Amino acid sequence: MENKQETTASLPLADTNCCASDCCTDDNTNKSATELKELVQEKYGAIARRAAGGGCCGDQSMDYSIMADEYDTLGGYAPDADLKLGCGLPTEFAKIKAGDVVVDLGSGAGNDCFVARSETGDTGQVIGVDFTDDMLMKARKNTLTLGYNNVSFVKGDIEDIPLPAETADVVVSNCVFNLVPNKAKAFSETHRILKTGGHFSISDIVLEGNLPQALQKDAEMYAGCVAGAIQHEEYLGLLRQQGFKNLQVQKRKAIVLPEEVLSQHLSAAEIAAFSKEFGIYSITVYGEK
């Protein structure tokens, strides 16, 4: 399995009032799938309304951008659509060609859609799928500003994508599947909407080792809702189970929790063990149908 690039990102401390906003929760472990989806909609709706971006569970003072990769060297980059909510650059690795139909799952304000549009050109089509009304509103406004007539956005849950089978040549997604309760269903839907011979490039958060219970709240706050992420090998295994082949890890980036956060919950010995035995990673994965 190819590992094209590996880097390390250290997440800074947030403002102590981070979780005073309406997008936070003290405990997600016992919530139903419906409640988790409502939480995500509420949280990302609030971020879209703020327009300036912000953290997964924070306000504008939280530097969530440490987790995101910079888009400004990519063609089609639209700063107003970049809310710094991703954890990779899937469009950079997606092998998009002129004329392709590209679907972006969890498209937010349209950032990856506009980059994809620069690759697929006037002869292609880009479709963003998101289930947050405020994000869809912002994405459509950005599209009008940019004057694109082949970029569109539809409301939908990626566990039940509102597109016909065999729609897309390429699927991209940026830090979204880690927020989905039923990842197997979402991967199955991704496989369904891809054309035979099509492929995806997905950036997401995965874990290695068991996340200590005492850190689940903080890990979610600082690492983009990592409490919803699953083990690296389990993630790849789910993709294989849905029929994807030629899986490749195109990029892997370690996410490091600050010691100041760890010391609030763990002893010095536990921190040392945590650092050796546990990891949070952003990965970009490629696969074919």
Lowest mean pLDDT among 141-150, 187-196, 223-232: 223-232
Q: Is 153 a residue whose pLDDT tops 50?
A: yes
Q: Taking residues 117-122, what's their average pLDDT?
A: 97
State the Cα–Cα distance between residues 78 and 116, nearest whole angstrom: 11
- Candidates 218, 221, 186, 171; CA nearest to 61 is 221
DSSP secondary-structure letter at 3?
A: B
Q: Taking residues 216-231, what's their average pLDDT?
A: 61
Burial of 171-208, coded b for 16+ CB within 10 Å and e otherwise, reads bbbbbbbbbbbebebbbbbbbbbbeeebbbbbbbbbbe
Question: What percent of the chain is predicted at pLDDT more than 90?
Answer: 51
Burial of 105-135, coded b for 16+ CB within 10 Å and e otherwise, reads bbbbbbbbbbbbbebbeeebbbbbbbbbebb
- 69 contact partners, CB below 8 Å, separation of at least 6: 86, 87, 88, 89, 253
Domain boundaries 6-16+32-288, CATH class: alpha beta
**pLDDT for the residue numbered 242:** 96
With H, G, I as helix, E, B as strand and everything else as coil, classify residue 79.
helix
- Candidates 135, 170, 166, 173; CA nearest to 284 is 173
**Higher model confidence: residue 262 or residue 162?**
162
pLDDT, averaged across the chain: 81
Q: What is the DSSP string of 136-178?
A: HHHHHHHHHHHT-SSEEEEE-BTTB-SS-TT-EEEEEEES-GG
**pLDDT for the residue numbered 208:** 92
Burial of 216-228, coded b for 16+ CB within 10 Å and e otherwise, reads bbbbbbbbbbbbb
Q: Taking residues 54-81, what's their average pLDDT?
A: 66
Integer-rounded Cα Rg, in Å, for the chain is 18
Handedness of CA 205, 210, 215, 216 (dihedral sign): positive
Q: Is 35 a residue whose pLDDT tops 80?
A: no
